[in-house]
Chain A
């Protein structure tokens, strides 16, 4: 297990380091936030003074070294707008985003697994075509459009669900569902095709010939093997869900980290963007490591190697 994890952890560190440097330079291309932050009547002298106070007039190299040095110790600096530690602002909002993404992921899996299985066993029938169509539609719906339609129908017209906020599970339904739709489409398609492949394999034929019940063949023998390639995609979808949460959170006024990030980008609030991107990279890298480990657990062949 250690030989499995160690190279991956080294790789993960390199990725994080690269991401930190990339985000540092990318957000500075458009210039610093001083002029944007001060009121319109502020004089050039006011802006210059503020820039100096905030250290934005130092060389990029000096700022980069300062950032990396502090970040290595977990200090991502203070937010310009909030005047509070940037990482704390990001972490405060993480549980809301993780909850939203987790619920969306569960919805995706709960919806896509049965559809995929049914489509695969009824291959090339109306059921299969229907399943594919639905997953295609799911993948093609723009999230913001779907989100607005849900609000229009379930909040404005029917008055069934609150349009925004966080606190009750009723407030979670629409954001989680609109976030889940895209992943549902992808997972359905992939799981369906790998199920079809697996159902044609020798061991499935053997299992059937031994007289094992069809549902047991499908759910135990076939599904377990078909899930392995899908797992990678599910892992990648976690990243997509966290990214997609940015739009969903904005529309449903859901107090997650995505909204904070969008606002920070508009405000050129460098420290928040840096903390957010590095943390997201950390989450995604960790998930990739977990997926690799999950592979090994699901696939005995990888363990013996």
Chain B
């Protein structure tokens, strides 16, 4: 009987063996990227999702882009200037055509932003571009973006990670139904849209007329594969060439043979926030300092992330505007932590909640557990509450986070990080400090880089000394990649195949 039961299994194996080898010894004319999820739409202004954005960035371009180092570079705009503090003037690239032959000019820029800023359009990323009050055409290849207040972080609002800032063709949309881009996208990007088989793949082909030069790889395919093991199996068997979100424990096995691992510290920030608004020990600065001394972040980074990622001295990415390499984090000093707690009146510690999401970010739960372990050593007992994403969003909206808050944030300018997280009364802020409020407001009221740098240097001193947050690190982005593929990951998680090629 057992033999009979085995027969179908064996038959299955035999049938598979008898088949010709799978078509995975493919010609090097395509690259397949397996992301966690499929695109939601092909309209860049209609989603709020990074996997979708990675596809969009190959069909469309923004006015400016970032290079591998994260510096802004010209894209559809060649140069930019500020004729006055409320105006960002962009000189546009000439001779660029959309995939349908339509010419790119200032009208396309005006149409793009006005379309996404129209409340009736319901752009999910409205908030990213809402500082733009109007778009004025100066001449066919010069355009002004006007703001109500000085807007020093404008470039962050108009590059590819600000999703609705990808430029769409006005003539094409006008001559079709308004939602044409959702299914039949047309942009100026390096790849043209070919087909979208829902939840299976999006196929793009190289645009021979791309203004930045025809991409070296003829076809780009995006496939949604949620399960980590499946993605890795596909990579190993040659079915895909780029697998994002590889777990650190798979690095060694993927860093050999036909595959390699690339990693880069992301712009993302791991840190703990403190709820200082409700009465409790966290309102005492000495307690917050003690918690900063109590956690050995370097050990956590080493043990849980294989040493990857970048330790931060303050809650700001090390590659952010104004980040001073001379800044130092609190050292690990549990004795000092205990002394500070005793001084604050908690010689035997206390109990506080910790709120976070589980499985949202790389090793998030493990990092919280490790932190809890370190805090227990200085007498602070932590009760962790891991929440599902939707519940977290509900609680956040009601400003109901409490105790230690592991939330995550990103942004490569102090104004994008400290203003929302630390200004009194901001929705994401659980902290209040009038002196800091004034500085953060100053920082967003001028465009002058040196002036801003000086302001944020002062702000940093306050944030550090008042221990407003418990900064940890920028987690790594880990990609499993075909060993022959020459491609560089970016810190903002955007995947760019413009210059990728096979060795």
Chain A residues at the B interface, C-beta cutoff of 8 Å: 30-31, 33-44, 46-47, 49-50, 53-54, 81-84, 89, 92-93, 110-111, 114-115, 118-119, 122, 126-131, 134, 148, 151-152, 154-156, 158-167, 170, 173, 177, 250-253, 255-256, 259-260, 263, 266, 268
Tell me the bound Cα distance from A44 to B428 in angstroms. 10
Could you tell me the dominant secondary structure of chain A's interface residues? helix
Q: Given A46-B126, A166-B200, are A119 and B234 neighbors across the interface (CB < 8 Å)?
A: no
Picked from B237, B388, B427, the residue with its CB within 8 Å of the CB of A163 is B237
Assess whether B48 is in contact with A38, with CB atoms less than 8 Å apart: yes
Assess whether B22 is in contact with A162, with CB atoms less than 8 Å apart: yes
Tell me the bound Cα distance from A256 to B237 in angstroms. 23
Assess whether B230 is in contact with A39, with CB atoms less than 8 Å apart: no
In the complex, what residues of B have CB within 8 A of residue A158's CB? Answer: 16
In the complex, what residues of B have CB within 8 A of residue A82's CB? Answer: 40-41
Tell me the bound Cα distance from A252 to B233 in angstroms. 11
Would you mind naming 28 contact pairs between A and B with Cβ atoms under 8 Å apart? A30-B394, A33-B390, A35-B394, A36-B393, A37-B48, A38-B48, A39-B124, A39-B128, A41-B128, A42-B127, A43-B127, A53-B119, A83-B46, A84-B182, A92-B198, A93-B199, A115-B4, A130-B1, A130-B2, A134-B2, A148-B229, A156-B233, A159-B237, A163-B233, A177-B12, A251-B227, A253-B225, A266-B389
Tell me the bound Cα distance from A39 to B201 in angstroms. 25
Q: Given A126-B1, A250-B227, A253-B225, are A83 and B182 neighbors across the interface (CB < 8 Å)?
A: yes
Q: Given A43-B427, A53-B122, A84-B182, are A36 and B390 neighbors across the interface (CB < 8 Å)?
A: yes
In the complex, what residues of A have CB within 8 A of residue B298's CB? Answer: none
Chain B interface residue count: which class? Answer: 35 or more
Assess whether B200 is in contact with A31, with CB atoms less than 8 Å apart: no
Shortest Cβ gap from B120 to chain A (Å)? 8
Chain B residue with Cβ nearest A125: B1
Q: Specify which of B125, B197, B389, B390 lies most central, judged by the most chain A CB atoms within 10 Å of its CB.
A: B390
Tell me the bound Cα distance from A115 to B1 in angstroms. 8
In the complex, what residues of A have CB within 8 A of residue B233's CB? Answer: 151-152, 155-156, 163-164
In the complex, what residues of B have CB within 8 A of residue A47's CB? Answer: 397
Tell me the bound Cα distance from A9 to B230 in angstroms. 43
- Chain B residues numbered 6-60 whose CB sits less than 8 Å from any CB in chain A: 8, 12-13, 16-17, 19, 22, 24, 34, 37, 40-41, 43, 46-49
Shortest Cβ gap from B66 to chain A (Å)? 18
Picked from B13, B41, B224, B229, the residue with its CB within 8 Å of the CB of A83 is B41
Q: Specify which of A33, A41, A118 lies most central, judged by the most chain B CB atoms within 10 Å of its CB.
A: A41
Assess whether B122 is in contact with A163, with CB atoms less than 8 Å apart: no
Assess whether B230 is in contact with A251, with CB atoms less than 8 Å apart: yes
Tell me the bound Cα distance from A151 to B225 in angstroms. 13
Tell me the bound Cα distance from A251 to B225 in angstroms. 8
Tell me the bound Cα distance from A34 to B13 in angstroms. 49
Tell me the bound Cα distance from A167 to B125 in angstroms. 35
Assess whether B47 is in contact with A81, with CB atoms less than 8 Å apart: yes
Assess whether A253 is in contact with B224, with CB atoms less than 8 Å apart: yes
Chain A residue with Cβ nearest B388: A30
In the complex, what residues of A have CB within 8 A of residue B388's CB? Answer: 30
Assess whether B393 is in contact with A35, with CB atoms less than 8 Å apart: yes
Q: Mark B139-153, 1 if CB is under 8 A from A, else 0.
A: 000000000000000
Tell me the bound Cα distance from A256 to B224 in angstroms. 12
Q: B80 contacts the other chain (Cβ, under 8 Å)?
A: no
Assess whether B230 is in contact with A173, with CB atoms less than 8 Å apart: no
Q: B391 contacts the other chain (Cβ, under 8 Å)?
A: yes
Chain B residue with Cβ nearest A42: B127
Chain A residue with Cβ nearest B17: A160
Counting from the closest, the 4 A-B pairs by CB-CB distance are: A255-B199, A127-B1, A130-B1, A35-B393
In the complex, what residues of A have CB within 8 A of residue B230's CB? Answer: 151, 163-164, 251-253
In the complex, what residues of A have CB within 8 A of residue B391's CB? Answer: 30-31
Assess whether B17 is in contact with A115, with CB atoms less than 8 Å apart: no
Shortest Cβ gap from A85 to chain B (Å)? 12
Q: Specify which of A115, A156, A260 lies most central, judged by the most chain B CB atoms within 10 Å of its CB.
A: A156
Chain B residue with Cβ nearest A159: B237
Q: Given A93-B199, A111-B8, are A131 and B1 neighbors across the interface (CB < 8 Å)?
A: yes
In the complex, what residues of A have CB within 8 A of residue B197's CB? Answer: 255
In the complex, what residues of A have CB within 8 A of residue B124's CB? Answer: 37-39, 50
In the complex, what residues of B have CB within 8 A of residue A46's CB? Answer: 126-127, 130
In the complex, what residues of A have CB within 8 A of residue B43's CB? Answer: 83
Assess whether A173 is in contact with B16, with CB atoms less than 8 Å apart: yes
Assess whether A253 is in contact with B227, with CB atoms less than 8 Å apart: yes
Chain B residue with Cβ nearest A177: B12
